[in-house]
Amino acid sequence: MPNPIVHFEVTGRDAKKLQDFYQKAFGWSLQPAANDYAIVSTGEDAKIAGGIGKAQYGEGCATFYVGVPDIEAAFQTVEGLGGRRVGGPYDVPGGPTIGFFVDPEEHVIGLVKIP
């Protein structure tokens, strides 16, 4: 792939709330970096690092898929933390099983079933 994904961000109105949500939902480690911003480690073998913080422009945005072993269990976790399922799970023809949820600030996030 000539242009791989190397970073992700989730930004919104309430950085602390978003950081707490993703840390609890997926067990990610967060390291404060700057005003209302934290660097994210998604795991020991993580290929992509990211950041979660206050939006500098507009309402905020997010774009990424999270690999999970059980999409239904992930939906239950995010719903318990104030997120909401918006689609799936769906079996992509010739591909993985995916689903979508919104976080507490209505960012649409994808889930991908991993072995």
pTM above 0.85, yes or no: no
Strand partners, 75: none
Predicted pLDDT at 3: 61
**pLDDT mean across residues, the chain:** 88
CATH architecture assignment, domain 7-113? Roll (3.10)
What's the CA angle centered on 67, arms 1 and 48, to 5 degrees?
50
pLDDT above 70 (res 5) = no
Per residue in 11-36, pLDDT tens?
A: 999 999 999 999 999 999 999 988 89
Sequence-distant (≥ 6) Cβ neighbours of residue 15 within 8 angstroms: 36, 37, 38, 52, 53, 54
For residue 1, the model assigns a pLDDT of 44
- Extract the tokens encoding 108: 């649409």
What is the tens place of the pLDDT at every residue in 24-81?
Answer: 999 999 999 888 999 998 877 767 778 889 987 778 888 788 989 999 999 999 999 9
**Could you tell me the residue ranges of all domains in the chain?**
7-113
Q: Cis peptide leading into 89, omega within 30 of 0?
A: yes
